[in-house]
Structure 1
Amino acid sequence: MSAHGRGWILVIFWFFFVWETVSWKTTSNDTEPVPVVIWHGMGDSCCKAFTLKFIKLVKETVPGSYVLSLKIGKSATEEIENSYFMNVNHQVEMVCNILSNDKKLQNGYNAMGFSQGGQFIRAVAQRCPSPAMKNLITFGAQHQGVYGLPHCPGESSHICNWIRKMLNLGAYSSPIQQHLVQAEYWHDPLNEDLYRNNSIFLAEINQERRINESYKENLMKLNKFVMVKFLKDLTVDPVDSEWFGFYKAGQAKDTYSLQESVLYQEDRLGLKAMDEAGKLEFLTVDGDHLQFSKKWFINNIVPYLK
């Protein structure tokens, strides 16, 4: 064979070698699970107690997943305290910094928020679009707030009793709004104007005072927004809040749905547009707050994590 012929063989061989290498790398990356970010609920910490079982569940059902359970404090004790007493807006800012500095999240991530962590991580989607949140899944979140704390999960019943007292005395006073987490998503249907004008977190992220177009644009970038409601929930009052419903103004008995709300009808967050585009998913569990089986999780949640 001539030198010219051997040269062509080498060129062809090199071409297929490079093509196979690039193809393998592309396929390998495409099949890697999307990272998962978890924000725990009230009275819990990033990596112990209640949240630990959710971390294990994701790793078991989506093998190879990188799971980041958000740490809001230097220790488990500090995290638990911060879930009661650290200004939510400061928490959201801290989380945005954590996410932007995590190299494993730069190609995007899926987010799971449990109980109050659900509305908190939604605020991350609205305020911090980079890195990109792909799917948002909230479990028993209080998207329209709460009006009552029938149960208060956590380490201390003393703390829960104190919180109830403070909320009843003056949820919308500046000191309580600034330093009591649960006050920041306290929604009093008997005093809608007071809530709307003084809520420093929930009323702001729900666009109830003014419209921040970036909040709407950022939330609409989600592929899916999945909301899980627990039909026998004894913690969230009203349960409808888990799907963006709430008590009708002036009383605390009858509720409205997301679709009946001003938030939806005026499309302040883009939820109406997302609903019409098939981006909203409303799931139910026939159980109490955050109680679901591994089988239910595999059938209903894992498809959004792949």
Structure 2
Amino acid sequence: MASSSCLWLWALAFLLGSCTSLALEHLDPPAPLPLVIWHGMGDSCCNPLSMGAIKKMVEKKIPGIHVLSLEIGKTLVEGVNESYKKNLMALKKFVMVKFLNDSIVDPVDSEGHASGTLTSVLGHLYFLFSHSLVQAEYWHDPIREDIYRNHSIFLADINQERGVNESYKKNLMALKKFVMVKFLNDSIVDPVDSEWFGFYRSGQAKETIPLQESTLYTQDRLGLKAMDKAGQLVFLALEGDHLQLSEEWFYAHIIPFLE
């Protein structure tokens, strides 16, 4: 993802909605807040080694929780294929239909799994594939920033790099917690700092800067600066490759945000 958008490509990001509960002695305890999981590239909703395992871990620790792991294709194989080639703007609409057709209630927690930037895509190929190849929609070229901003159909939009959509900002700031997990030995996401919204300093592809030094933050285009000051951003890190985490780590560091 060109990395600034931990929003969709992170290694692991949780967008936690807030909910108000009425605590009266004669009422039953409220049901757990529902959880929506949207898998990333090369994955599917129900892979027992990835999203299926995450779903089971959550259900094990939070009895009675409703978990909707979004299924993009009609089969596991089709879901994996669609994760590589489906236009992300069209996919957003598809996901909303799936979401609205589910019995889930609002508010919800949403967990998104995704990949990071690509390291060797030639500039002219961007125009050919940006509408049908997910990796191109995540591509942010720090050397050719003008091409990226002018022609990106997904990342530049959600990162507010062509203008500020106040609804994006308002909706993100409404979250109670935005949890970002950095896998320190990640071989999929480039740069790894993008898992915390960091990215390459403009004009080169070696030195990275943290979120707090980015224009996205200093101009507060998405509300991340205000959220940071309010303690709504949570930065977690662990040793290991892409999405390689133990049950013990997941239970200790992620489950508390879902309970």
TM-score (norm 1): 0.74
Contact 2:86/2:134 (8 A) holds in 1: yes
Deviation at 1:97, TM superposition (A): 2.1
Work out which of the residue numbers 168, 172, 182 in structure 1 matches 2:122. 168
Deviation at 1:95, TM superposition (A): 1.1
Q: Does residue 215 of structure 2 align to residue 216 of structure 1?
A: no
Tell me what 1:127 maps to: none
Deviation at 1:181, TM superposition (A): 0.4
Provide the rounded CA distance (Å) in 2 between the counterparts of 1:75 and 1:62. 27
Deviation at 1:273, TM superposition (A): 0.6
Deviation at 1:271, TM superposition (A): 0.4
Tell me what 2:3 maps to: none
Tell me what 2:75 maps to: 75
1:25-44 matches, cutoff 5 A: 26-28=27-29, 30=30, 32-44=31-43
Contact 2:118/2:135 (8 A) holds in 1: no
Deviations along 1:14-38, one digit per CA (max 9) or x if unpaired, are: xxxxxxxx844x333x2x2111111
Contact 1:115/1:290 (8 A) holds in 2: no
Provide the rounded CA distance (Å) in 2 between the counterparts of 1:183 and 1:107. 32
Q: Does residue 239 of structure 2 align to residue 286 of structure 1?
A: yes
| Unaligned stretches of 5+ residues in structure 2 | 1-23
* Structure 2 counterpart of 1:88, one-letter code: L
Contact 1:245/1:256 (8 A) holds in 2: yes
* Structure 2 counterpart of 1:251, one-letter code: Q
Contact 1:196/1:203 (8 A) holds in 2: yes
Deviations along 1:71-116, one digit per CA (max 9) or x if unpaired, are: 1122212211111110011111111222233232x23111111124
What is the aligned residue count? 235
Provide the rounded CA distance (Å) in 1 between the counterparts of 2:183 and 2:129. 29
* Structure 2 counterpart of 1:103, one-letter code: S
Deviation at 1:62, TM superposition (A): 1.6
Provide the rounded CA distance (Å) in 2 between the counterparts of 1:171 and 1:95. 27
Contact 1:170/1:176 (8 A) holds in 2: no
Provide the rounded CA distance (Å) in 2 between the counterparts of 1:201 and 1:169. 16
* Structure 1 counterpart of 2:126, one-letter code: Y
1:147-296 matches, cutoff 5 A: 147-148=118-119, 167-168=121-122, 170-173=124-127, 175-296=128-249
Contact 1:59/1:65 (8 A) holds in 2: yes
Contact 2:35/2:66 (8 A) holds in 1: yes
Tell me what 1:126 maps to: none
* Structure 2 counterpart of 1:246, one-letter code: F
Provide the rounded CA distance (Å) in 2 between the counterparts of 1:114 and 1:60. 20
Deviation at 1:169, TM superposition (A): 6.1
Contact 1:34/1:65 (8 A) holds in 2: yes
Tell me what 1:66 maps to: 66
Tell me what 2:94 maps to: 94
Tell me what 1:113 maps to: 112
Q: RMSD of aligned C-alpha atoms?
A: 1.5
Deviations along 1:198-236, one digit per CA (max 9) or x if unpaired, are: 110000000000111110001101000000000111111
* Structure 1 counterpart of 2:247, one-letter code: K
* Structure 2 counterpart of 1:295, one-letter code: E
How many percent of aligned residue pairs carry the same amino acid? 53
Provide the rounded CA distance (Å) in 1 between the counterparts of 2:118 and 2:77. 27
The structure number with the bigger radius of gyration is: 1
Deviations along 1:99-147, one digit per CA (max 9) or x if unpaired, are: 233232x23111111124xxxxxxxxxxxxxxxxxxxxxxxxx4xxx14
Tell me what 2:256 maps to: 303
* Partner SS state of residue 219, structure 1: helix
Provide the rounded CA distance (Å) in 2 between the counterparts of 1:100 and 1:218. 18
Provide the rounded CA distance (Å) in 1 between the counterparts of 2:206 and 2:118. 11
* Partner SS state of residue 237, structure 2: strand
Provide the rounded CA distance (Å) in 2 between the counterparts of 1:190 and 1:275. 28
* Shift in alpha-carbon separation, 1:171–1:203, aligned structure 2, 3 A: farther
* Structure 1 counterpart of 2:170, one-letter code: E
| Unaligned stretches of 5+ residues in structure 1 | 1-21, 117-141, 149-163
Provide the rounded CA distance (Å) in 2 between the counterparts of 1:74 and 1:247. 38
Deviation at 1:188, TM superposition (A): 0.8
Deviations along 1:51-86, one digit per CA (max 9) or x if unpaired, are: 211111111122221111001122212211111110
* Shift in alpha-carbon separation, 1:193–1:54, aligned structure 2, 3 A: same
